[in-house]
Amino acid sequence: MAGDVLVIAEHWKGRPEAVTFQLIAKGREIADARRASLGVLVLGHDIGELAADLAGTGVDAVFVVDHRALGNAACGLLAEAAVASLREIAPALTLVGFTLVGMELAPAIATRLGVAAMTNCVNVECVDGEIVVAKPVYDGALHARVIFDRDAPALVALQAGATPTLPQPARAALVRALALDIESMPRRGEIVQFIEEPIGDVDIAKADIIVSAGRGVGDASKLPMIEACAKALGGLMGCSRPLVDQGWLPRERQVGASGKTVTPKIYIACGISGASQHLAGMSGAKMIVAINKDPNAPIFQVAHYGIVGDLFEIVPELTAQAKKS
Amino acid sequence: MKIVVCCKAVPGAVTDVAVETRGDALRFRSQFQSMNECDEYAMEEAVVLKRLYGGEIIALTIGGVSTQEILYTAAAKGADRIVRVDALAQDPRAASIVLAAALKTLAADLVLTGTQSRDSLSSFVGVATAQRLDVPFAFAVTAIEKDGDDAIKVRKELGGGRSADVRLPLPALVCVQTGIQPLNYVPPARLMRARQQRPQSLSLADLGLTLADIAPRGYRIASVAPPARAAGAQILSGPPAEAVRALLAKMAEAG
Ligand SMILES: Cc1cc2nc3c(=O)[nH]c(=O)nc-3n(C[C@H](O)[C@H](O)[C@H](O)COP(=O)(O)OP(=O)(O)OC[C@H]3O[C@@H](n4cnc5c(N)ncnc54)[C@H](O)[C@@H]3O)c2cc1C
Ligand SMILES: Nc1ncnc2c1ncn2[C@@H]1O[C@H](COP(=O)(O)O)[C@@H](O)[C@H]1O
C-alpha cells in the first residue's frame, strides 16, 4: 500500500535487539501519520517463535524468511535475502538500525534497489506527508535536516538509542512467510566461526558509576588520573574506542557499539566527543555527565550535566573532593 | 596481491557551514584536510599485507586538486601508485559510483575502504561500492589474512563484543575498522620524497561518467544547524572547585 513502512528486525539468539523496538515505535508513528501499515521483516534461522513475539508489538504484519543458511549469514547472503524481500514487500519507507548489522544492510539495499538512503540518523518523522530525517555531519556538532522526495521509496538507518521505545498496543498482526529461493542466491563468502568476547577481568557493565576516558586525555600516561577518579567515586574506568585502538586499554573497557553496552547510575565522560557509536553504548545511563573543553561537543546533546573545561583541571578536583566527602 | 586503498580527504574544524542553494549539498570553510582516520588504518593494513604476500598498493581518492595532499601521505606510508579522480562526490551514493568505475579500471584483488568518513559520517560508501562491483564484502574488519591462493579470511565486528571470521573469495572489498594495525608515524623527510611522485589523474569522462550520473537524487537538504538541546545538559559553571561541588551535589541527589 502507498506509504507503508517496514522495519528490518535485528535479533540475536532468538531475541529482538533493543533497536528493533525503537524502530517499531518510530515506524508506528510514521505509519499512523500516513494512514499506512507497519510491517517488520525478520530474516534468520529457527525464528518462528521470534516472529510470533514480534506479532504482538504493535505492527500490522510480520514477514518471515526462515532458512538454515541465514542463521549465520552476517554479510553477503543476509543482504541478498533482504534485497529480495524488499522487492516483494515494496515498502515506501524502510527503517534499519544504524548498527554494525545495519551498516552492511543499508548500503546494500539502497544500492541494489536504487532507493534514496540516509544513514546515521538521530530522528525520522513524517511532516506534512514528507519523510524528514536529522543526521549529524562533520563530527556531529551540526545536524542536517534532510527531506526525501515525496512518493519515492526511502531508506533510513536510525541510531540505536536515538529514540525511546514506547509500549505499543498489540494488534492482530499477520505473520507471513516469504517464499524466497535462498539456495540459488550468490553466497559471496561464508562464516567460518562466531566469536563472543569473554567478559574479561573487569566487567564495567556491573559498575554503578563509570568514569570514561576519551581521546581528550591525550596519552596513555594520563589514564591513572582517570582511574583514580573512578576509584574515589567507587566506580570503574571505561573508555572510548580510540584508546583501545591505540593499545592503551584492553577491549573490555570499551563502551559503545563495538564494545560494551552499559547502564550505570552515573556515567562521566571525560574528553569524549559523543560520536553515535559511543552513545549507542551508554545513552541508557541514568545520569550522564560530560566534561569537555568544547562547548559544542555532541556529548552535551545527551548529557544531563556538563562542565565545559579542561579535564586536567576538573578530574583531579573531582577526585580530591570525592575523597573528602 | 594487488590492493587498492580508497582514502578520503576530510576537513579539520569546519566553519560557515551552509546548504547550497539547490539543497543538494553542504558547503563550508576549513583550515586543512587530512586523511580520514580509518582510511589511514586501511593504508597501514595494506602495507602489512604487501610485506607478507607481495604485490602492489594503489591509493585512490575522489576529490579536487587540494585532496592530493593525502595521496602524498599514502605514498609516504607505502603506496606504489597514487590515483585521483578529479570530481566532487557530493554524497555517498555518488562516491560509490565513481569509486566503482575507477576500481573497474584498476582490477584489484583486494579493495580496502574505511568504515566511516569523518565529515559525512555515513558508513555507506564501502558496501555500496562492493555492490556496484558485485564482489564479496565485509564491514568493520579488524584482521585480514590470506586463505589459500584466491581467498582471504577476515575478522569482522558484529557489535556488542561479538565478531565473526568470514572467508571471502577474491576479488573482494573490505571496510577496515580503526585499530587493525598500529599507526606508523610518517617522517617529514619521507613525505617530502613522496611529493615527487606524480598522482595519476582521471576525469569523470575517462570513467565514462557524466555529472548527471552522480548528482544527488531523491532528497534535499533543508537546513544545517547545531541540534536543539531539547533535554540538553545543564552546564555547571564557575571555577573548577565550584563546578565540581555542584556536580557532586547532583550526583548525591541521584543516589
Ligand atoms: C563501526 C564503528 C564502530 C565504532 N564503535 C565504537 C565504540 O564501540 N565505542 C566508541 O567509543 N567509539 C566507537 N567508534 C568510533 C566513534 O565513531 C568515534 O570515532 C569515537 O567514539 C571517538 O572517540 P573520542 O570521543 O574519545 O575522541 P574524539 O572524537 O577525538 O573526541 C575527543 C574529545 O575530547 C575533547 N578534549 C580534548 N582535550 C580535552 C581536554 N584537555 N579537556 C576536556 N576535553 C578535551 C575534545 O573537545 C573532543 O570532544 C566506532 C566507529 C565505527 C565506524
Ligand atoms: N571521496 C572519497 N574518495 C575515496 N574514498 C572515499 C571517498 N568517500 C568515501 N570513501 C571511502 O568510503 C569510506 C566510508 O565513507 P562514508 O560512507 O562516507 O562514511 C571511507 O572511509 C573511504 O574509505
Q: What is the pLDDT of residues B161-200, one digit of tens each?
A: 889 999 999 999 999 999 999 999 999 999 999 999 999 9
Please report the pLDDT score of residue B229 as a whole number: 64
Helical ranges in chain B per DSSP H? 37-53, 68-77, 92-106, 125-133, 188-194, 240-254
What 8-state DSSP symbol labels residue A72? T
Whether the CA torsion A183, B168, A251, A304 is positive or negative: it is negative
Taking CA atoms only, the protein residue closest to ligand 1 atom 40 is: A310
For the cut 90, the answer to whether the pLDDT of residue A112 exceeds it is yes
Contact A145 B251 (CB under 8 A): no
Instruction: Specify whether the CB–CB gap between B83 and B60 falls below 8 A.
Output: yes
d(CA B115, CA B41): 10
How many other β-carbons are positioned within 10 Å of the β-carbon of residue A161? 22
Kindly report, residue by residue over B54-87, the tens digit of the pLDDT.
999 999 999 999 999 999 999 999 999 999 999 9
Contact A258 B224 (CB under 8 A): no
Provide the residue ranges of all domains of chain A, joining segments of one domain with +: 5-184, 204-324
Residue B255: pLDDT band (50, 70, 90) is confident
Please report the pLDDT score of residue B228 as a whole number: 74
Please report the pLDDT score of residue A141 as a whole number: 86
CA distances from A241 to A244, A248, B46, B184, B219 (A): 5, 10, 22, 18, 33
Find out whether the beta carbon of B61 lies less than 6 Å from any atom of ligand 2.
yes
C-alpha of residue A274 to centroid of ligand 1, in Å: 6
d(CA A105, CA A89): 16
**Domain B2-214 coded CATH 3.50.50.60:** no
**How far, rounded to the nearest angstrom, does the alpha carbon of residue B22 sit from its chain's CA centroid?**
26
Contact A306 B225 (CB under 8 A): no
Nearest to A120 among B122, B217, B251 (CB): B122
Calculate the CA dihedral of residues A161, A260, A95, A179 and round it to 10 degrees: -140
Closest-CA residue of B relative to A205 is: B160
Residues of B in contact with A251 (CB under 8 A): 161
Residue B230: pLDDT band (50, 70, 90) is low
Q: Tell me which CATH homologous superfamily contains domain A5-184.
A: HUPs (3.40.50.620)
Please report the pLDDT score of residue B91 as a whole number: 96
Instruction: Specify whether the CB–CB gap between A29 and A140 falls below 8 A.
Output: no
Could you tell me which residue, A197 or A230, shows the higher pLDDT? A230
Residue type at A259 in one-letter notation: G
Contact B182 A247 (CB under 8 A): yes
Closest-CA residue of A relative to B159 is: A258
Taking CA atoms only, the protein residue closest to ligand 1 atom 19 is: A275
Closest-CA residue of B relative to A195 is: B163
Kindly report, residue by residue over A65-102, the tens digit of the pLDDT.
999 999 866 678 999 999 999 999 999 999 999 999 99
Closest-CA residue of A relative to B182 is: A246
Contact A137 B169 (CB under 8 A): no
Q: What is the ipTM metric for this complex?
A: 0.96
Kindly report, residue by residue over A121-136, the tens digit of the pLDDT.
999 999 999 999 999 9
Q: In CATH, what is the architecture of A204-324?
A: 3-Layer(aba) Sandwich (3.40)
Find out whether the beta carbon of B68 lies less than 6 Å from any atom of ligand 2.
no
Residue A188: pLDDT band (50, 70, 90) is confident
Residue A3: pLDDT band (50, 70, 90) is confident
Nearest ligand for residue A310 CA? 1
Please report the pLDDT score of residue A32 as a whole number: 94
Percent of chain A residues topping a pLDDT of 90: 86
Contact B219 A149 (CB under 8 A): yes
Taking CA atoms only, the protein residue closest to ligand 1 atom 31 is: A273
DSSP SS3 for A6? strand
Residues of A in contact with B138 (CB under 8 A): 75, 189
Kindly report, residue by residue over B152-163, the tens digit of the pLDDT.
999 999 988 889
Which of A 200-229 lie inside 8 A of B, CB atoms?
Answer: none
Find out whether the beta carbon of B171 lies less than 6 Å from any atom of ligand 2.
no
Please report the pLDDT score of residue A84 as a whole number: 97
Residues of A in contact with B244 (CB under 8 A): 307, 314, 317-318, 321
Please report the pLDDT score of residue B231 as a whole number: 60
Q: Which three cell numbers stand for residue B251?
A: 550526583
For the cut 90, the answer to whether the pLDDT of residue A113 exceeds it is yes
pTM over 0.90: yes
Please report the pLDDT score of residue A72 as a whole number: 67
Instruction: Specify whether the CB–CB gap between A37 and A70 falls below 8 A.
Output: no
Atom of ligand 1 nearest to the CA of A103: 1
How many other β-carbons are positioned within 10 Å of the β-carbon of residue B242? 12
A123 vs B: CB within 8 A: no
Residue A172: pLDDT band (50, 70, 90) is confident
User: Could you tell me where the beta strands, DSSP code E, fall in chain B?
Assistant: 2-6, 9-11, 14-19, 26-30, 33-35, 56-62, 81-86, 110-114, 137-146, 151-159, 162-169, 172-176, 200-203, 219-225, 234-235
Please report the pLDDT score of residue A134 as a whole number: 96
Residues of A in contact with B90 (CB under 8 A): none
Contact B139 A75 (CB under 8 A): yes
For the cut 60, the answer to whether the pLDDT of residue A274 exceeds it is yes
Segment B102-118 shows an average pLDDT of 97
Rounded to the nearest integer, the mean pLDDT of chain A is: 94
Contacts of B137 (CB under 8 A, 6+ apart): A75, A76, A104, A188, A189, B126, B127, B130, B131, B168, B172, B173, B174, B175
Phi, psi of A213 (to 5 degrees): -100, 140
Segment B233-244 shows an average pLDDT of 94
C-alpha of residue B49 to centroid of ligand 2, in Å: 21
Taking CA atoms only, the protein residue closest to ligand 1 atom 50 is: A277
